[in-house]
Structure 1
Amino acid sequence: MNIQLVRTDSKHPEFMCLVQQLDAYLAVKDGDEHSFYNQFNCIEHLNHVVLVINDQTAVACGAFKQYDSQTVEIKRMFTATAARNQGIAGIVLNELENWASDLGFKKVQLETGQRQTEALSFYQKCGYNKIPCYGPYKDMENSVCFGKEFKS
């Protein structure tokens, strides 16, 4: 494996390609609720995107956006099927956390769905704890929210 990490923004064509794959996956997983969740997943204004390039092909991505003065929200985490179970998602998440911490943020939070069982166990394995659902996810039965504070 010849992995390269790229910090970019949402205009990167490889990111857009991976997001299309993610949206297709989520349309199946979310079922009837997909249109509700999809409205919070626009990528036009994501200025903090991490791509993993393996042998000149983008295989994973993730992003964050500012939630408040102390907190960022992780968005658009995805690993292509062929690249799963190789630790790549952890590399993306770690890079996003480092970038946010470097910018002075103290906490990170995210939302995922109960049906994304792989994501649920992944975030817990990465030290995230369940938190009360926030913002638009407060009343969504399928939503599970996680949070983590950065070590000083």
Structure 2
Amino acid sequence: MTTTATGTVDLPGGRVLTWAETDWDDPRAAALRAAMDGEIAPRYAALRQGSPPPAPPSGEDVAVVVLALVDGAPAATGTLRRLPDRWEVKRLLVDADHRRLGLAGRVLARLEDAARDRGADELFLQTGNRQPEAIALYEREGWERIEVFAPYDPADGISVCFRKALRAEP
């Protein structure tokens, strides 16, 4: 596990937000992802009817995991994944006890910066149609809806995909 601290921010109520960039195997980020699975899986159980969800990222295709710590506790995470033909945001989650602090938008912005730093001109993501809070976040942050892209199945009716230009388009 590699962790790089990337600064602190004061939050309301005297809380302190500390940023870290780490890797897929970081146990703090893994715990947040497990909480996400526990929260999201029931929303899709009836739609999936036993078929598995898309494969998660692996340590090999993950460029960076952003981790937000509030007073030292894991509060939010997001992942930047490199696919053969694109950069993709994956596994963005804010812990239930740390919501309404603006962390989701901040994590997303850090992932966008990480993609720019790696030479990406655009960034993609996929969420599900039963995650209205995620869809609202992406729309609010300037992401545009696009057609469902591989490896997601447009026929399953679940995926909602987005794209964001990271550099000014002519």
Normalising by structure 2, report the TM-score: 0.82
Could you tell me whether the CA contact under 8 Å between 1:8 and 1:47 is conserved in 2?
no
Alpha-carbon shift at residue 68 of structure 1 (Å) = 3.9
Q: Distance in 2 between matches of 1:143 and 1:42?
A: 16
Q: Which residue of 1 aligns with 2:18?
A: 4
Alpha-carbon shift at residue 82 of structure 1 (Å) = 1.2
Q: Distance in 2 between matches of 1:118 and 1:151?
A: 26
Could you tell me whether the CA contact under 8 Å between 2:68 and 2:75 is conserved in 1?
yes
Report the number of matched residues: 150
CA displacement 1:108-130 (0-9 Å, x = unmatched): 11111111010010100010010
**3-state SS, counterpart of residue 135 of structure 1:** coil
Q: Unaligned regions of 5+ residues in structure 1, if any?
A: none
Q: Which residue of 2 aligns with 1:79?
A: 94
Relative contact order (C-alpha < 8 Å, sep 6+): which is higher? Answer: 1
What RMSD in Å do the two structures reach over aligned CA positions? 1.6
Q: Distance in 2 between matches of 1:74 and 1:35?
A: 23
Would the alpha carbon gap of residues 94 and 109 (structure 1) be closer, same or farther in structure 2, given more than 3 Å must change?
same
Q: Which residue of 2 aligns with 1:16?
A: 30
The answer on 1:151 being equivalent to 2:170 is: no
CA displacement 1:69-100 (0-9 Å, x = unmatched): 5x311101000011111100111000000011
Alignment of 1:74-113 (within 5 A): 74-113=89-128
Determine which structure has the larger helix proportion and give its number.
1
Alignment of 1:57-72 (within 5 A): 57-69=73-85, 71-72=86-87
Would the alpha carbon gap of residues 35 and 8 (structure 1) be closer, same or farther in structure 2, given more than 3 Å must change?
farther
Alpha-carbon shift at residue 11 of structure 1 (Å) = 1.0
Normalising by structure 1, report the TM-score: 0.92
Could you tell me whether the CA contact under 8 Å between 2:87 and 2:123 is conserved in 1?
yes
**3-state SS, counterpart of residue 156 of structure 2:** coil
Could you tell me whether the CA contact under 8 Å between 1:49 and 1:61 is conserved in 2?
yes
Q: Unaligned regions of 5+ residues in structure 2, if any?
A: 1-14
Q: Which residue of 2 aligns with 1:51?
A: 67
Q: Which residue of 2 aligns with 1:122?
A: 137
The answer on 1:41 being equivalent to 2:56 is: yes
Q: Distance in 2 between matches of 1:78 and 1:35?
A: 23
Bigger CA radius of gyration: 2
Could you tell me whether the CA contact under 8 Å between 1:114 and 1:142 is conserved in 2?
yes
Would the alpha carbon gap of residues 10 and 35 (structure 1) be closer, same or farther in structure 2, given more than 3 Å must change?
farther
